[in-house]
């Protein structure tokens, strides 16, 4: 982060300087006293369990030079105490002001699934030429994104921000802070149906990522997605990627996927030469993820060799298509999150591992936030698992019985469709299973903590 003068921070958030403190400038921004460094601004946010206003002494002891507060505080301090109406909004306003220092290209990414992989792929591609920062972990919300903005400094040549949401209006706020030059929507699925009720509303919420674009900026969409094709370019340039549709700016002419990854032949409408790319992770969904990254690379002037170098350098995030050997089995850890689309994509990958001498196993936890048709979606995924060649389904969670119902209705024998009420019972079963020759997919929504089974097996 580039230093910010304390008086400039006060002006940026329209705050009141209650106590001037002894410092002159801020060298970092933090909301967590456990991570505070000397010279940081501490933002006192009232959370569900902890109120940052109760931690001012700890923040000062850690070296904070300034603090944003929204309550009256009685704290004699060498920190600059800055009173604001809302500390979260002040964090966002300061990030927005800080963002204006930079003219380097900014890329924003959202979508129902694949947004984190796509964000990481774009970062890897751009890093082959540019010094690039990107969202870390799950810092993609109204607090995490502004904190990520402060990772930019004078060395930054490009930035990639992931934008998550749970309702209408949220991504618009993030877009106003980040002001992206290129904005990407991966797809429109069924995640967040519980809050937004319809896929049309999910489309509206995701399309807010385009709200700050102008004719010098570009929105990238999946041109094969039945909802995204409804988007019209109004006041900005629209760039479509895909495999099947005719009107595409970047088209995958052909691809091959197996357990070792994907190979694809890609043609850009503006060009005349087919380019070949490869990627280490398998599945058609990764073809689309790669197309987004290739498109961003091309829009920012990278050549085929630089883009391929970036794809080669990509490393999967934690609990995302992490494929390892455990005893005599292969375990596919895709436990970070789940919705019907990502479940089917993961099952497509599992199918690629079928050999005569192994068994395909799906360990599935509940999918959350998919609305009133949740039972139907769980049954559909169970049926899809059977159709994908899964020979043993192990389920856990309140809704997970419906996976079993769907699989059994599609012809899976009941003795190969097992529901567990107790985590330890499932773990004991898995421990015996990895002694055999099996390929085991483990996946469920974040709240199911399916990664705990991986840790126990290892």
Q: What is the pLDDT of residues 309-357, one digit of tens each?
A: 999 999 887 888 899 999 999 999 999 899 999 999 999 999 999 988 8
Residue 113 known to bind ligand: yes
Per-residue confidence (pLDDT) for residue 22, from 0 to 100? 82
Residue 245 known to bind ligand: no
pLDDT in tens, 76-103: 888 999 999 999 999 999 999 999 999 9
- pTM reported for the whole predicted model: 0.91
Residue 397 known to bind ligand: no
Residue 116 known to bind ligand: yes
CA separation for the pair 31, 278 (Å, rounded): 40
Are β-strands 438-443 and 182-185 bridged in parallel, bridged antiparallel, or unpaired? unpaired
Across the range 60-73, mean pLDDT stands at 95
Per-residue confidence (pLDDT) for residue 109, from 0 to 100? 98
Per-residue confidence (pLDDT) for residue 112, from 0 to 100? 93
Nearest residue to 184 via CA among 296, 281, 267, 105? 296
pLDDT in tens, 277-290: 999 999 999 999 99
The secondary structure of the chain, three-state, reads CCCEEHHHHHHHCCCEEEECCCCCEECEEECCHHHCCCCEEEECCECCCCEHHHHHHHHHHCCCCEEEECCCCCCCCCCEEEECCCHHHHHHHHHHHHHCCCCCCEEEEECCCCHHHHHHHHHHHHCCCCCEEECCCCCCCCCHHHHHHCCCCCCCCEEEEECCCCCCCHHHHHHHHHCCCEEEECCCCCCCHHHHCCHHHHHHHHHHHHCCCCCCCEEEEECCCCCHHHCCCCCCEEEEEECCCCCCCEEEEEEEEECCEEEEEEEECCCCCCEEEEECCCCHHHHHHHHHHHHHHHHCCCCHHHHHHHHHHCCCCCCCCEEEEECCEEEEECCCCCCHHHHHHHHHHHHCCCCCCCEEEEEEECCCCCCCCHHHHHHHHHHHHHHCCCCEEEEECCCCHHHHHHHHHCCCCHHHEEEECCHHHHHHHHHHHCCCCEEEEEECCHHHCCHHHHHHHC
Contact 359, 437 (CB under 8 A): yes
Across the range 68-73, mean pLDDT stands at 94
Residue 409 known to bind ligand: no
pLDDT in tens, 3-29: 999 999 999 999 999 999 888 899 999
CA separation for the pair 148, 146 (Å, rounded): 5
pLDDT band at 41 (very low <50, low <70, confident <90, very high): very high
Contact 142, 178 (CB under 8 A): no
Residue 114 known to bind ligand: yes
All domains of the chain in start order, with CATH: 4-86 (3.40.1390.10), 102-313 (3.40.1190.10), 322-457 (3.90.190.20)
Residue 272: pLDDT over 80: no
Per-residue confidence (pLDDT) for residue 320, from 0 to 100? 84
Across the range 423-431, mean pLDDT stands at 96
pLDDT in tens, 162-184: 999 989 999 999 999 999 999 99
Residue 190: pLDDT over 90: no
pLDDT band at 194 (very low <50, low <70, confident <90, very high): confident
Per-residue confidence (pLDDT) for residue 303, from 0 to 100? 97
Per-residue confidence (pLDDT) for residue 249, from 0 to 100? 97
More confident residue, 252 or 321: 252
pLDDT mean across residues, the chain: 95
Residue 317 known to bind ligand: no
């Amino acid at each position: 982060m580039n230093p910010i003068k304390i008086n400039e921070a006060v002006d940026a958030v329209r705050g009141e300087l209650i106590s001037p403190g002894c410092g002159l400038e801020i060298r970092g921004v933090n909301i967590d006293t456990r991570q505070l460094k000397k010279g940081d601004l501490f933002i006192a946010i009232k959370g569900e369990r902890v109120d940052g206003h109760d931690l001012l002494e700890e923040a000062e002891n850690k070296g904070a030079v300034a603090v944003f507060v929204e309550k009256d505080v009685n704290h004699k301090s060498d920190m600059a105490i800055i009173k604001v109406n809302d500390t979260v909004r002040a964090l966002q306003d300061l990030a927005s002001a800080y963002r204006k220092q930079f003219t380097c290209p900014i890329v924003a990414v959202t979508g129902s699934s694949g947004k984190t992989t796509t964000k990481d792929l774009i970062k890897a591609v751009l890093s082959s030429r540019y010094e690039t920062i990107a969202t870390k972990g799950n810092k993609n919300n109204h607090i995490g994104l502004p904190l990520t903005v402060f990772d930019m400094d004078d060395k930054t040549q490009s930035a990639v921000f992931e934008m998550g949401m749970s309702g209408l209006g949220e991504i618009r706020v993030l877009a106003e802070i980040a002001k992206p030059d290129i904005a990407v929507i991966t797809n429109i699925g069924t995640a967040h149906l519980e809050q937004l009720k319809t896929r049309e509303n999910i489309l509206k919420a995701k399309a807010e990522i385009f709200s700050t674009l102008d004719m010098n900026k570009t929105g990238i969409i999946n041109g094969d997605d039945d909802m995204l094709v409804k988007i019209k370019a109004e006041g900005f340039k629209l760039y479509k990627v895909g495999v099947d549709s005719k009107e595409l700016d970047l088209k995958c002419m052909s691809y091959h996927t197996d357990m070792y990854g994907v190979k694809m032949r890609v043609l850009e409408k503006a060009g005349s030469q087919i380019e070949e790319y490869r990627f280490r992770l398998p599945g058609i969904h990764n073809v689309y993820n790669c197309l987004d990254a290739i498109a961003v690379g091309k829009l920012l002037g990278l050549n085929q060799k630089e883009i391929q170098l970036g794809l080669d350098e990509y490393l999967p995030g934690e609990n995302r298509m992490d494929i390892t050997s455990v005893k005599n089995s292969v375990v596919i850890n895709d436990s970070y999150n789940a919705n019907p689309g990502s479940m089917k994509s993961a099952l497509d990958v599992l199918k690629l591992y079928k050999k005569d001498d192994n068994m395909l196993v799906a360990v599935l936890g509940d999918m959350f936030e998919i609305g009133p048709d949740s039972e139907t979606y769980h049954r559909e995924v169970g049926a899809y698992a059977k159709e994908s060649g899964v020979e043993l389904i192990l389920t856990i969670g309140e809704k997970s019985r419906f996976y079993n119902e769907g699989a059994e209705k599609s012809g899976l024998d009941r003795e190969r469709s097992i529901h567990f009420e107790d985590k330890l019972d499932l773990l004991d079963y898995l421990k015996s299973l990895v002694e055999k020759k099996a390929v085991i997919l483990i996946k469920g929504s974040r709240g199911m903590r399916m990664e705990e089974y991986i840790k126990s097996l290892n």
